[in-house]
Amino acid sequence: MTQVQQKPLLIKLGGAVLENNQALTNLFSALTEYLAIQQRPLLLVHGGGVIVEDVLKKMNIKSEKKNGLRITPFDQIPYVAGALAGTSNKLLMAKALQAGLSAVGLSLADGFSCSVKQMDPDLGAVGICSPNNPALINSLLAGGFLPVISSIAIGEDGNLYNVNADQAAIAICELVGAELVFLSDVDGVWDAQKKVIPELNTQLADTLIAEDVIQDGMAVKVKAALQAAEQLGYVMLASWKNPENLVSLLAGKAVGTKVIK
């Protein structure tokens, strides 16, 4: 088995893309095109909040959040795990396989890749994960496979835990030394003139948040990206809505917003 030579690239997919069949097709076509040009190891980490909401609604279960995190009572975690590690994961795998990519569906627990502990008793089965054993994922990357990793983990107590997908992506990046791209439904961070900011650091972000230029959901995304940049050096924020830009982004060209320390 050959060793992984290049630094892997991890793409964290926002859950909203799971509702957009054409966007998924475009994404995996871009990944296939990119891999035909450059044999770089790729990984995907995903959430799937939209699928979770749909499942809980059908079960007549009201879902609540605290500080942006879904409160997950332990009696609800089977439904959440099914939506994330089951339906969401296999939807992405189906698209990857259809595009000719050798996808392997995983959770954070497979091969002891990540360890997890309960974040806050008030949140129930919500965990915080940390990198643990890279052997399984590295062997898959070296073998030319595309790991598709859900944000479900298993604690030392044997319980299933739901992990914030942004935090899961950061942990996997640390685990295998990968670079990180957050792909969501926005094309980057905008300035006051609604133009994409090419590079964003903590100081500029704090100013724009204070001036309400960056607000609401984008403020949450930016804070997550800054947290990741603290640990990884930099991350990219870009959109899955522009397939023509994806190959350029993957090739390292300036697309979206580069978030640095």
- Looking at the annotation, which residues are catalytic? 12, 15, 49, 166, 221
Asked if 181 and 77 touch (Cβ cutoff 8 Å), the reply is no
CB within 8 Å of 85: residues ≥ 6 apart: 105, 107, 150, 152
CB within 8 Å of 67: residues ≥ 6 apart: none
Render 13-64 in DSSP notation, one character per residue: EPGGGGG-HHHHHHHHHHHHHHHHH----EEEEE--HHHHHHHHHHTT----
| DSSP H/E element including 137 | helix 135-142
Answer yes or no: is 162 a known binding residue.
Answer: yes
Q: What are phi and psi of 46, to 5 degrees?
A: -140, 155
Paired tokens of 170:
């950061």
Q: What are the E-state strand segments in the chain?
A: 9-13, 42-46, 65-66, 69-70, 103-106, 114-118, 126-131, 146-150, 152-154, 160-163, 179-184, 199-200, 234-239, 257-260
Answer yes or no: is 40 a known binding residue.
Answer: no
- Give the residue ranges of the annotated binding site for substrate: 48-49, 70, 162
